[in-house]
Amino acid sequence: MVATFVSKSGHSATIPLNEKRTVTADWYTTICLPKVITELRNINPERRIILHQDNASSHTAKKTRQYLTEENVELLDHPPYSPDLSPNDFFTFPKIQHKLRGHRFQSPDEAVDAFKNAVLDLPANEWNKCFENWLGRMQMCINLRLEYFEKQ
């Protein structure tokens, strides 16, 4: 399992969940988020960081909220039960799944490296389309008073 973070300009970070079975607030605030925030601040220390994440318990935990407040990271609300609004769910994972379908990996590290490389291979214009799509989905959700979901 990996936690992956993307921005309008592309891939920001992928952090593997080594030797763990589940994402916890402890892992998220001590390993995952520090790597992501450090990476973003190395790119542009002046940059305002706004994080959009789903409502997983590790994301909504008090420890996570406190950590993000201390790091001056703003949160963008995510409506409950709305996977259609997560760029990873509607864009990144389907794209990468298509690219990696049929491949066999000798180790978890090899699979994570293949995932990272596939994400890095996506062109910038694809990321721009992803975020235009995301903004449109968010606006539809607002217009429909949080009753938005995509028909399958």
CATH code assigned at 18:
3.30.420.10
The string of pLDDT tens digits covering residues 97-152 is 999 999 999 988 899 999 999 999 999 889 889 989 988 888 887 787 766 555 54
Place of tokens 């989905």: 137
Average pLDDT score over the chain? 86
In a domain, 150, yes or no: no
Residue bearing tokens 């703003």: 74
Q: Is residue 27 part of a domain?
A: yes
Structural domain includes residue 149: no
Of the ranges 17-21, 28-32, 85-89, 119-123, which one carries the lowest mean pLDDT score? Answer: 17-21
What was the pLDDT predicted at 14?
Answer: 87
Number of domains in the chain: 1
* φ, ψ for residue 89, nearest 5 deg: -75, -40
**Residue 94 tokens, joined:** 């389907």
Distance CA 81, CA 74 (A): 21
pLDDT at 150 (0 to 100): 57
Range of the domain at 13: 2-143
Which position has the token pair 């201390």?
Answer: 70
Q: Confidence class of residue 28 from pLDDT cuts 50, 70 and 90?
A: very high
**23 closest CA partner among 73, 61, 74, 67:** 61
Instruction: List C-alpha distances in Å: 81 to 48, 85, 147.
Output: 27, 9, 10
- Specify if 75 maps to a domain: yes
